[in-house]
Amino acid sequence: MSKPRYLTKDTKGRKLRRPVPQDIQKYVGKTAWVERLGSLSWSDAVERAHLFAVETDTEIKRYRKEAQRAQSPALHIVDEPGCNFSLMDHEVDQLALVYFHRRERDAESEGGYLLDDNDPRFNDLLSDAQHDLGDALNVQKGVDIGLVDGSQKSKHWTCLNLLVKHGYLGKEAILTENGKRYPTEVISNQRFQRLCKLIVRADVERARRVVEAMENGQHPSLSDSFFASALKPGFELEQPLNRSRKTIGDLVRSYRARREKEVGSSRLSQHNIVFRVLEEELGNATLLTNVARDQCQQLADLFVHIPPHVSQHYKSKKLRQAVEAYEAINGNKPNRVSEGRKNLAILQKAFDHAVRQEWIDRNPASNVEIVGPKRAAKYSNSNDGYQPFSTEELQRIFSAPLYTGCLNDEHGATRSGPHIIKRHRYWAPLLALWTGMRMNEILQLEKGDLRQADRIWYVSVNDTEEIDYEPDTFVKRLKNKNSERDIPLHPELIRFGFIDWADKQDKGRLFPEASQGLADKPSTMFSKRFKTFLTSLDILVPRKKVFHSFRSNFNDALREAGVPQEFRVAINGWTEQNAMDGRYGKGYKVRQLYEEIQKVKYPSLDLRSLYQAEH
């Protein structure tokens, strides 16, 4: 098989290169079409070369037709009413510097300036570089004398896109349904013309540096001192201060940074859906001043229909695509009014942040609302919340394969097998039933949280970590200040062998496997698995009989044992705990609480098999 046309190779690998015919070079704005092929295999490279030939043939025909239609060398410019363009001298300088800096950065990412002069293609590459320098100098000459041709038109377009990228213009100012637009107010602006000249100077300096490096075999010098600061370490674009130029991307970055300082990762993760909606629906480059109330109402309407756990179940889809996929499967869109209102509140606070920063004058989402079905009457019976498990249901739970022998404690936890695996899925229900601890409080326990006072074992519920963990792992957290407390271990937990088991564990998390995965707290995954576990036992009642029901069982058992309310408050970590803290010393408190907690009984619940499982 003969080598395809335009397929060549240099020190950086295979590439496609086809010279632009001389008669259309001024319209194309370059002397050759070049495409790097990266790591493509030979067969794929050959196939791409054939397509490249067809594509460039089409380009040649298109540009020759354009040349035939051109009646004069004048640049075609159309008016763009209401563009309101303004640019300061220091901003012109900064934009030109960042353009040059990025070209230098691109050169470094491609391997730098130095090439092997022993490479058989070196002379061709040097010839190309010299040709590019000549083209750049010709463009500069044309710009300096005011000549308007295809090359300058290309530079105008480069500068317009640079202004759009950095928020000085909106995309709508330079694009129409029919193609490119060159707004008169911008093109005729003296500072825009100055920016074009600086961009051309940057291209000349860049081309000159390439030639110098190849001819001298060393890193090039800087001839144009204007660009010296762009080569200094740490150079970055000074962001414009005009509030009208701030974008959705600016708002998301700024508000996220602020919330990171104010809330934990769990609360922060609730903002991610709102940030995604802003970016996907409005776009990062959209100016904040262009966001209207109607657009915010459309975002709010979308919030209501976003499927639960969308980031996990629809990883490759945008949010609107996820809504469509959910509807295709279930026959209707999700209708999550409560979640929608939470996200709308975050959206409104984000725009409030923009108002405080004086980026916009008013909050476009302030009068947006989500109208849902009329609320049902509040429960009159306090027992209509989380319901305790019945004795029969508790017996079913602790007689399941997880406690009598299962295949494994992952997907095989509900199937009979030879293993009794004592990890978080085994211990969490027992700890909840006999201490009343919350799910996350249990799963984040560390070995050092098991302590002794007056020869009584107790659990210290706190948010202090005993060792340093990897930065991407979750951090201990409490529901509120009153959640920090000491809970004596019920004698039953000692009989189950919990202390002996814990003593054999390494320092740090008692249940490290509970935090595996992408969740920012261990209860996220465990909650799902426990619901599946209850479903397999035909016990689950959504929002009624769930893991929190163990806490209801425990509190009922405290009450039935005659434990005074002040002790129940201290053990459960409720809001009145401060009064209890003021009445008892540290050591005495554990003893006093132990006397009360050991009164907890579950009549007719037989867990003696768990004693035997320890031996």
Judge if 480 and 571 occupy the same domain.
Answer: yes
Domain count, the chain: 3
Per-residue DSSP letter, 607: -
State which of 175, 210, 231 marks the end of a domain.
231
Whether 276 is covered by a domain: the verdict is yes
Looking at the structure, tell me whether residues 341 and 205 fall in a common domain: no
Q: Find residue 10's DSSP bridge partners.
A: 13
Among 231, 265, 281, the domain-final residue is: 231
Q: Are residues 251 and 226 in the same domain?
A: no
Together in a domain, 288 and 176: no
Element (H, E) at 435: helix 424-435
Q: How far is CA 451 from CA 121, 168, 295, in A?
A: 73, 62, 56
Q: Does 157 map to a domain?
A: yes
- Claim to verify: residue 155 and residue 248 sit in the same structural domain: no
> Does one domain contain both 426 and 456?
yes
For 74-104, the pLDDT digits (tens) are: 333 333 433 445 667 777 888 899 899 988 8
Q: Identify the three-state secondary structure at position 437.
A: coil
SS3 track for 23-37: HHHHHHCCCEEEEEC
Q: Say what the pLDDT of residue 232 is.
A: 84
- 52: in domain: no
The DSSP symbol for 514 reads G
Residue 506 and residue 417 share a domain = yes
Using DSSP's 3-state secondary structure scheme, residue 45 falls into helix
Q: Residue 472: pLDDT above 70?
A: no
β-strand pairing of 175-176 with 32-36: unpaired
Mean pLDDT throughout 496-511? 93
Rounded Cα distance, 31 and 25, in Å: 6
CATH number at residue 527: 1.10.443.10
User: Is pLDDT larger for residue 206 or for residue 580?
Assistant: 206
Q: Is residue 37 part of a domain?
A: no
Handedness of CA 568, 573, 574, 577 (dihedral sign): positive
Last residue of a domain, one of 231, 260, 295: 231
Say how far apart CA 71 and CA 68 lie, in whole Å.
8
Residue 498 CA to residue 495 CA, distance in Å, equals 8
Structure tokens, 238:
């000074």
Choice between 189 and 395, residue whose per-residue pLDDT is larger: 395
Q: Which of 572, 547, 426, 574 lies closest to 487, judged by CA?
A: 572
Determine the structural domain holding residue 583 and report its residue range: 387-613
Phi first, then psi: what are they for 144, rounded to 5°? -65, -35
pLDDT grade for 579, boundaries at 50, 70 and 90: very low
- Does 216 fall in a domain? yes
Note the helical H segments in 217-309. Answer: 248-262, 265-269, 272-277, 293-305
* Listed range (48-62, 139-153, 476-490, 534-548) with the worst mean pLDDT: 139-153
**Both 349 and 426 in a single domain?**
no
Same domain, 208 and 261: no
Rounded CA separation 298/150 (Å): 43
Distances, alpha carbon 341 to alpha carbons 12, 259, 303, 304, in Å: 54, 19, 8, 8
Are 252 and 217 within one domain? no
Average pLDDT over residues 368-374: 77
At 326-361, the pLDDT tens digits run: 888 888 888 889 889 999 999 999 999 988 887 887
C-alpha 547/C-alpha 438 separation (Å) is: 9
Tell whether 41 is covered by a domain: no
Contact assessment for residue 600 and residue 558, using Cβ atoms and an 8 Å cutoff: yes
> Is the residue at 374 inside a domain?
no
* Domain identity same for 152 and 263: no
Per DSSP, what are the bridge partners of residue 33?
18
Digit-coded pLDDT (tens) for 30-72: 788 888 888 788 887 888 888 788 778 877 887 777 666 553 3
Instruction: Pull the structure tokens for residue 506.
Output: 């390494």
Looking only at the bridges linking them, the beta strands covering 485-488 and 179-180 are unpaired
pTM: 0.44
Cβ pair 214, 75 in contact under 8 A: no
In a shared domain, residues 406 and 548: yes
57 within domain boundaries: no
SS3 501: helix
What is the pLDDT, as a whole number, of residue 271? 86
Q: Is the four-CA dihedral 410, 414, 418, 420 of positive or negative sign? A: positive
Q: What is the mean pLDDT of the chain?
A: 82
Which residues in 152-274 belong to E strands, given as ranges? 175-176, 179-180
Q: Which is more confidently placed, 516 or 518?
A: 516
End-to-end Cα, the chain, rounded Å: 75
**Residue ranges of E strands in 198-341:** none
Distances (CA, A) of 463 to 264, 475, 514, 536: 12, 8, 17, 34
Distances in whole angstroms, Cα of residue 198 to Cα of each of 30, 92, 131, 143, 152: 18, 9, 21, 10, 13
